[in-house]
Amino acid sequence: MNQTVQDIIANCREAGLRRTKALEELISTLLESGRPMTLAELASSPRLSSQCDKATVFRLLQRLAGHGIVRRLGLHERAAYFALQIPGKHSDYLICTSCGTIEPVKAPCPVHELEDEIRKKTGFQNLYHELEFFGVCPKCA
């Protein structure tokens, strides 16, 4: 499913969030990046730096994460990364415990079959999972 900015904004509105220019620019930036981004990267991006300050970006990210529209990734003692949660699209991540870099796993997710089995056995609906692998990246090894 190819989600557009307008689809994601509609999800935000359903969650009770106000549609603002800053929200649109944040969604557009995350969607176009195709990778998780830090608060600093987002706040200094050309689209957002002209719209709002870092505190506003942080508050928007917190609200979006609270509604499951954005996923917070990373180690708690390091800068967090944020990625859009797009229905029907799933990403698992590798996180370096030394430098904190994050990259998507480029392999099929081994949990989808288990998720289907759990759904059938328990009757849970809207079931999803988030998978993060932690280790030391080749640059830090």
Q: Are 57 and 26 in contact (CB under 8 A)?
A: yes
Mean per-residue pLDDT, 55-78 = 87
> Are 62 and 39 in contact, with CB atoms under 8 Å apart?
no
pLDDT of 78 above 80:
no
Measured from the Cβ of residue 125, the count of other Cβ atoms closer than 10 Å reads 6
Paired sense of beta strands 132-135 and 102-104, if any: unpaired
Whether residue 31 contacts residue 5, with contact meaning beta carbons closer than 8 Å, is answered with yes
Q: Which domain holds residue 132?
A: 90-141
Are residues 101 and 80 part of one domain? Answer: no
**88-93 average pLDDT score:** 80
- Please report, for the domain that includes residue 96, its CATH number: 3.30.1490.190
- According to the model, what pLDDT value does residue 1 have? 38
Name the residue with tokens 């990267």.
41
CATH (domain of 41): 1.10.10.10
| pLDDT exceeds cutoff 80 at 87 | no
pTM of the model: 0.76
